[in-house]
Amino acid sequence: MSIPDALRYSSDHEWISVEGSKIRMGITDYAQDALGDVVYVQVPTVGASVSAGDTMSEVESTKSVSDIYAPVTGTIVAVNDALADQPETINSDPYGAGWICEIELADPTQLDGLLDASGYRALVEG
């Protein structure tokens, strides 16, 4: 299971990369493995406001449907439209081409509440 040190993580199994005042996010390697083969991804709407902890997206696999939660409060500024035709990218490249969306941060201090790689590793390893 891959847990890149350069990223931040939510306890809901989302990864976050910080790029200035924006974050890019997706689901972790652990989450995609638990889901199984991803067959559909509902990306959020560009321009939508999201609050930390709110459902903002959905990933459907051969096993189940899982809600994706906003790790921070802000505005959706970009989505990965390629996932509509290639949802399996979340399985093959969860930290790269399998990203879900970008959010313009409303409050950068919310990043302090996210886990670092060692904290996330401790979470998933029990």
Q: 22 and 108 in contact (C-beta within 8 Å)?
A: no
Give the C-alpha separation, 7 to 24, whole Å.
10
Quick: pLDDT tens for 7-57: 999 999 999 999 999 999 999 999 999 999 999 999 999 999 999 999 999
Helix (H) or strand (E) holding 39: strand 38-42
Domains belonging to the chain, first-starting first, are 8-109 (2.40.50.100)
Rounded percentage of the chain residues whose pLDDT exceeds 70: 100
